[in-house]
């Protein structure tokens, strides 16, 4: 793979990295003010940056051997370069930069390769002295990149996770106030992530549709966001499918609260993950039959406390909480039954 020097013919000024994330609990609640529990994954995106003395940015994706060129402040035509273009523009890059990107965060699997890229570029601008921003503000700028340069009306979970989480803890994030705590993972357990190999075809369109549906549900219920629903029974009066959509968001938020109770161990946490999957499949309708099959195989394994889809859904990765030290053995057993399209991603 060509380095920055090999591709651009000189050394970069700075390099910066940011991790992908997997969400353990609290799915599709971060655009309704809910609570989420992601953790960083070991995989990272790394960018190298250097001024090029022109009015254009040049972005080279070394893994794809693809270069994209676009004007300072503007957007790129397509693909991964839009995330970089947005981060450079909103991060305030005043002149042309050369950007070299490498990543081992799986793309399009619900593991936030996009947030990792945005946060890495913004960290690079910070290291160059162009951007003066806290980790929290870096996440907020990265979210605007999704909204304004990519067209996904996402919540703040991914960008905050990439900016402030680590893989040794789980991040409890209040997506309304951005109040946050790094908490220990459930004792005696470890995180296993398997990519189902199903491409997330509806991830953008289905996502924006769900978001519009729950905003309508909140409006009909007379609350600012579904986080504010006091009586879970009130959603039952909504018309279909707003009823099902709102039921998911309200119950999912309650599951995160339940997971934080003092006596919650890995077994209880796993039960909440299983219930989250059923809710995402049946009420939110964002799963996929193959993802359901993989989750069922995991849930049936004796060393698995719980398993569910993770991220926006419509394919992509699943997350399981497994007995400490057993992730490799569980993955091997489950993948032998699931088929060759599956792939262990974490650990």
The residue within the footprint of ligand NG1, chosen from 24, 27, 32, 295 (CB under 6 A), is 27
Q: Is 196 among the residues that bind ligand NG1 (CB under 6 A)?
A: no
Pairing of strands 56-61, 189-195: unpaired
The residue within the footprint of ligand NG1, chosen from 32, 114, 276, 279 (CB under 6 A), is 114
Cβ–Cβ under 8 Å, residues 39 and 167: yes
Tell me the helix, strand and coil percentages in the chain, rounded to 5.
Answer: 40, 25, 35
Residue with tokens 């003010």: 33
Instruction: Find, among 284, 262, 258, the residue nearest to 272 by Cα.
Output: 258
We find the least distance from the C-beta atom of residue 112 to Mg ion, in angstroms, to be 6
Site residues (vs Mg ion, CB under 5 A): 114
Catalytic residue among 98, 158, 195, 283: 158
H or E element, residue 344: strand 343-346
The count of residues interacting with ligand NG1 (CB under 6 A) is 17
Q: Is 110 among the residues that bind ligand NG1 (CB under 6 A)?
A: yes
Q: Is 252 among the residues that bind ligand NG1 (CB under 6 A)?
A: no
**What 8-state DSSP symbol labels residue 287?**
-
CA distance 57 to 47: 14
What does 312 bind: Mg ion, ligand NG1, none (CB cut-off 5 to 8 Å by kind)? Answer: ligand NG1
Window contacting ligand NG1 (CB under 6 A); options: 22-30, 71-79, 218-226, 322-330 = 22-30
Task: CB nearer to ligand NG1: give 151 or 325.
Answer: 151
What does 264 bind: ligand NG1, Mg ion, none (CB cut-off 5 to 8 Å by kind)? Answer: none
Q: Is residue 158 flagged as an active site residue?
A: yes
The residue within the footprint of ligand NG1, chosen from 72, 107, 128, 152 (CB under 6 A), is 152
Q: Is 154 among the residues that bind ligand NG1 (CB under 6 A)?
A: yes
Alpha helices in the chain (DSSP H): 4-8, 81-90, 113-127, 135-145, 157-164, 203-221, 242-259, 266-282, 289-300, 327-338
We find the least distance from the C-beta atom of residue 114 to Mg ion, in angstroms, to be 4
Task: CB nearer to ligand NG1: give 60 or 83.
Answer: 83
CA distance 332 to 318: 15
Instruction: Find, among 303, 302, 288, 306, the residue nearest to 342 by Cα.
Output: 288
The 3-state DSSP class for residue 280 equals helix
We find the least distance from the C-beta atom of residue 339 to ligand NG1, in angstroms, to be 23
Q: Is 288 among the residues that bind ligand NG1 (CB under 6 A)?
A: no
Residue with tokens 């909480």: 321
CA distances from 221 to 72, 249, 284 (A): 44, 13, 18
What does 155 bind: ligand NG1, Mg ion, none (CB cut-off 5 to 8 Å by kind)? Answer: ligand NG1
The residue within the footprint of ligand NG1, chosen from 16, 25, 28, 96 (CB under 6 A), is 28
Hey, which residues are catalytic here? 158
Site residues (vs ligand NG1, CB under 6 A): 23, 27-28, 30-31, 110, 112, 114, 146, 152, 154-155, 157-158, 207, 311-312
């Amino acid at each position: 793979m060509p380095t920055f020097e090999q591709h651009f013919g000189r050394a970069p000024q700075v390099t910066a990295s940011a991790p992908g994330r997997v969400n353990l609990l609290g799915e599709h609640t971060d655009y309704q003010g809910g609570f989420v529990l992601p953790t960083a994954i070991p995989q990272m995106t790394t960018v190298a940056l250097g001024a090029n003395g022109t009015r254009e940015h040049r972005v080279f994706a070394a893994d794809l051997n693809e270069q994209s060129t676009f004007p300072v402040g503007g957007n790129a035509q397509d693909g991964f370069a839009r995330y970089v273009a947005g981060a450079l523009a909103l991060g305030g890059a005043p002149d042309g930069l050369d950007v070299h990107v490498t990543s081992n965060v799986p793309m399009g699997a619900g593991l936030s390769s996009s947030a990792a890229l945005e946060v890495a570029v913004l960290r690079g601008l910070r290291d160059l002295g162009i951007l003066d921003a806290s980790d929290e503000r870096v996440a907020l700028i990265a979210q605007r990149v999704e909204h304004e340069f990519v067209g996904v009306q996402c919540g703040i979970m991914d960008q905050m996770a990439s900016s402030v989480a680590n893989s040794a803890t789980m991040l409890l994030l209040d997506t309304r106030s951005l109040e946050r705590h790094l908490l220990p993972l459930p004792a005696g357990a470890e995180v296993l992530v398997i990519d189902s190999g199903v491409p997330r075809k509806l991830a953008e369109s289905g996502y924006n549709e769900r978001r519009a549906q729950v905003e309508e549900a909140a409006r009909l219920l007379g609350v600012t966001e579904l986080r504010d629903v006091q009586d879970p029974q009130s959603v039952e009066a909504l018309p279909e499918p707003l009823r099902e959509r709102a039921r998911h968001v309200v119950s999912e938020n309650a599951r995160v609260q339940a997971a934080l109770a003092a006596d919650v161990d890995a077994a209880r946490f796993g039960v909440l993950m299983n219930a989250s999957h059923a809710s995402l499949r049946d009420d939110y309708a964002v799963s996929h039959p193959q993802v359901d099959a993989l989750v069922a195989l995991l849930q049936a394994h004796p060393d698995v406390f719980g398993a569910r889809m993770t991220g926006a859904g419509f394919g992509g990765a699943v997350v399981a909480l497994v007995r400490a030290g057993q992730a490799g053995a569980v993955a091997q057993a489950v993948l032998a039954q699931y088929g060759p399209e599956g792939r262990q991603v974490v650990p």
